[in-house]
Structure formats: structure tokens, C-alpha cells
Structure 1
Amino acid sequence: MNKIYLIFFLSLISFCSYSQESKEIQKLEIELQKCLDDTQNNMLNCTIEYYNKIDKQLNITYNKIRPTLSKSEQEQLKSKQLAWLKKRDQYFKKVEVETAKELDGENSSQDYRMICSHENALFVRDRIIELEKIYSKN
């Protein structure tokens, strides 16, 4: 029963998208859903792969935006990104604690790792969307 709930939860989150999403993010979310739908796949591996791809996409987006900016804008972007990285690390720790609490203290199961990976990926995805929205004019 728990696995069915998790599948439904992850599917629901995966399809809650923003209109500002880039085609690359949409592509990654479709890949994730296909991976999760394939009963031969391990759902944990699907979410870890999604996180790795979305994290890589953040770096691609950042490096795509940076050269289009003036030197002072580049410094502002760097400063904002460093602040976001600190916020990200705090958020990831919070997700770990809250997820363990929801799973009655369990923090080594596949379900725990899958939920944390997916929540972390969504946080990174939202940063990509935010960067694209802010700097799309440039």
C-alpha cells in the first residue's frame, strides 16, 4: 500500500509543472515518468537519475546565462547563486529530517532515499525555472 501511495505522490508531483518550464525540463520530467511507469525499473534509481540530470541542467542554464550579462550582472548572479546554494543545502537537510519523521524515523530505506531525491530535484528544478524567468530577456 505504501508503494502505491508513493507512486501516486511522485506521479502527481511530476505532472505539477509551471508554464515557464523549458523544453529541457519538460523532457526530463517525461523521462522520469516513463522510468517510474516501467515496472522493470527501480523507482529509487529513476529519482536519483532525475536528480542528477536536473542538477546538470542547472549548471547548463547558469553557464548559458552568465556570458550574456555584464561583469557587474555576472557578479550579482554569482552572489545570488552562492546564496541559493546555502539555501539549497538547508532545504535538503530539512527534507531529510521531515521525510524520516514521516517514515517513523526510517532514514535508510529505498522509500526514504527516493522521496528525498525527488524533493531535492524539484527544488533544483524550481531554481532553473526561476533563473530562466529572470534572465529570459537577456
Structure 2
Amino acid sequence: MRNLILFLLVFLCTKAYSQTKQSALDTLETHYQQCLGNSQNMYNCAVIYYKQLDSLLNNTLQHLYSNLTGGRQQQLQMEQGAWEEKKEEYFKKIDERVEKMHKRTMEGLDDDMISTDNKAAFLKARLVRLLDI
């Protein structure tokens, strides 16, 4: 009975944490869209959004690692390692594409903004997946 109560407590805390992180993610998205709506310094908007998502992703991972049991924690570490490899490949392709575009366009910041936005979307997809755990 004690174990059941402990399990329920951990489950409820994890759910509450997940909802808080989802709310934080929604707030970041809203602020990003508002920043882009101003049509000024859009590259800076994308960089700030990317950094905030990266921070939220790292905090979420730390929380999950500290609250999951051994077997599930190990599975998450393996999943995260595979995701990190995909991320590196994806970011490398994006950077290569932007480098090629810089030679053809006058406004390099537009290309950089789009690149940063795509990278942020990749992080956001991972974060959403982690919030479902």
C-alpha cells in the first residue's frame, strides 16, 4: 500500500511538472510569435527563442533523469543519445544549406533567421515528445 501511494505521488508530481513545462512552452511560443509580429530584428527573435527552448529542453531532461527509475532512465539516455546524433546531422545540413544560400542572397540574416527557426522547431519537437513521457 505504501508503494502504491508513493507511486501515485510521483506520478502526480510528474504530471504537474509536465503541465507546467507545457505552459512554459506555450508562453515561449506566444512571445516568439509576438516578437516576429513586430517585424524588427527577427533574427534576434529566433536566436532568443532557440536559446530558451534549449534551456527548457535541458531542464526537462534533468528532471526526467532524476525522477525515472533505473530501467526507464537508461532507455531515455539511449533515446537521447540517438536524438543528439540526428540533431547534429540535421543542424549540419541546415548550416551547409545556409552557407550555400549566403552566396546567392544579399540578406544573410534572413537565411540565418530561417535556419535558427528550423533548429528551434527540431528542439521543440523533442521537448514535446519528452513532455509526453
Where in structure 1 are there 5+ consecutive unaligned residues?
A: 1-20
TM-score (norm 1): 0.72
Report 1:109-120 matches (<5 A).
109-120=108-119
Partner of 1:38: 38
Return the offset for 1:128: 0.5
Return the offset for 1:72: 2.0
Distance 1:91 1:51, change over 3 A: same
Return the offset for 1:62: 0.8
Partner of 2:23: 23
Conserved in 1, the CA contact under 8 Å of 2:98 and 2:112? no
Instruction: Name which of structure 1's ranges 58-67 and 115-124 shifts more when overlaid on structure 2.
Output: 58-67
Q: Structure 1 stretches (4+) deviating beyond 6 angstroms?
A: none
> Larger radius of gyration, structure 1 or 2?
2
Q: Deviations over 1:32-71 (max 9, x none)?
A: 01111224x3111000000000000101111121222111
Conserved in 1, the CA contact under 8 Å of 2:35 and 2:42? yes
* Alpha-carbon separation, structure 1, partners of 2:108 and 2:90: 20
* Alpha-carbon separation, structure 2, partners of 1:112 and 1:84: 25
Q: Deviations over 1:100-136 (max 9, x none)?
A: 5566655981011101100000000000011111x1x
TM-score (norm 2): 0.75
Distance 1:108 1:76, change over 3 A: farther
Partner of 1:47: 46
> Which letter maps to 1:24?
A
Where in structure 2 are there 5+ consecutive unaligned residues?
A: 1-20
Tell me the percent identity: 31
Conserved in 1, the CA contact under 8 Å of 2:94 and 2:115? yes
Conserved in 1, the CA contact under 8 Å of 2:101 and 2:111? no
> CA-atom RMSD, angstroms?
2.3
Conserved in 2, the CA contact under 8 Å of 1:107 and 1:113? no
